[in-house]
Chains A and B, each alone.
Chain A
Amino acid sequence: EVLLVESGGGLVQPGRSLRLSCYASGFSLGDYTVHWVRQAPGKGLEWIGFIRRKDRGETAEYAASAKGRITISRDDSKSSAHLQLSNLQIEDTAMYHCVRGGTTSGYSGLDQWGRGTLITVSS
């Protein structure tokens, strides 16, 4: 079974940092780009960034709202990806989803989504 499982969320004070992890099973994560999408409570979806595959340099792109405060990394040997968030603000409170993207064969949608991990930023 293809699965993405996020972890690392929780309650955190404003200004602190947090590192989320995403573990893949049932497929080779290294063959895919990895995206992070968040959803604030009762709100819509917000794409916050992605990391390319190793054969594309493992470079990342970020949304302007998060640029400078987030870093996406990956460790294909451990079938994992990570989202480092710093200087967290109240408005970063959201469910954070890890999502599978394009492959070496091309793009066929963000076709697998994790259930998400919730970050609550509050003093």
Chain B
Amino acid sequence: DIVMTQSPRFLPVIPGEPASISCRSSQSLLHSSGRNYVDWYLQKSGQSPQLLIYLGSNRASGVADRFSGSGSGTDFTLKISRVEAEDVGVYYCMQLLHPPWTFGQGTKVEI
């Protein structure tokens, strides 16, 4: 199975400042199509996860443009250009190139 490793596991942030989360995969997630098969999700306290970024860098519908995804191969990054209070929660990366799809352990973001 592909292992997804996130860092840091805990990220204190300051509103208005940028933040970034790293995700590293044990195998390349670059598909022959040129797309990277990695998504990013945010789970706010007491809620179901919500999609932020799909296939590496595509922002999901309704997601604020302060969120961006980048990277290729085995190294990926989720960036928040200016953190807002509502961005707190646990962020997960997930690979979908090879079943079983696998999630990272999660990064808890707190103000």
List chain A positions with a Cβ less than 8 A from chain B.
Answer: 35, 37, 44-47, 49-50, 61-64, 97, 107-111, 113-116
Cross-interface CB contact of B102 among A47, A49, A113, A116, cutoff 8 Å: A47
Contact assessment for B60 and A111 in the assembled complex, using a CB-CB cutoff below 8 Å: yes
- A111: chain B residues at CB < 8 Å are 51, 54, 60-61
Q: Which of B92, B99, B105 is most buried by chain A, counting CB atoms within 10 A of its CB?
A: B99
- A62: chain B residues at CB < 8 Å are 99-100
- A50: chain B residues at CB < 8 Å are 101
Identify the closest chain B residue to A110 (Cβ): B51
Is B48 interfacial (CB 8 A cutoff)?
A: yes
Scan residues 38-91 of chain B and give those whose CB is less than 8 A from a CB of chain A: 39, 41, 43, 48-51, 53-55, 58, 60-61, 90
- B58: chain A residues at CB < 8 Å are 108-109
The 8 closest A-B pairs by CB, nearest first: A109-B54, A63-B100, A113-B48, A61-B99, A109-B51, A47-B101, A45-B103, A44-B106
Q: Distance (Å) between the CB of A34 and the closest chain B CB?
A: 13
Is B29 interfacial (CB 8 A cutoff)?
A: no
- A49: chain B residues at CB < 8 Å are 100
Answer whether A47 and B94 are a contact pair too, CB < 8 Å, given A64-B100, A109-B54: yes
Q: Distance (Å) between the CB of B105 and the closest chain A CB?
A: 5
Contact assessment for B41 and A45 in the assembled complex, using a CB-CB cutoff below 8 Å: yes
Residue pairs across A and B with Cβ atoms less than 8 A apart, 10 shown, are A37-B49, A45-B43, A46-B103, A47-B103, A50-B101, A63-B100, A109-B53, A111-B51, A111-B60, A116-B48
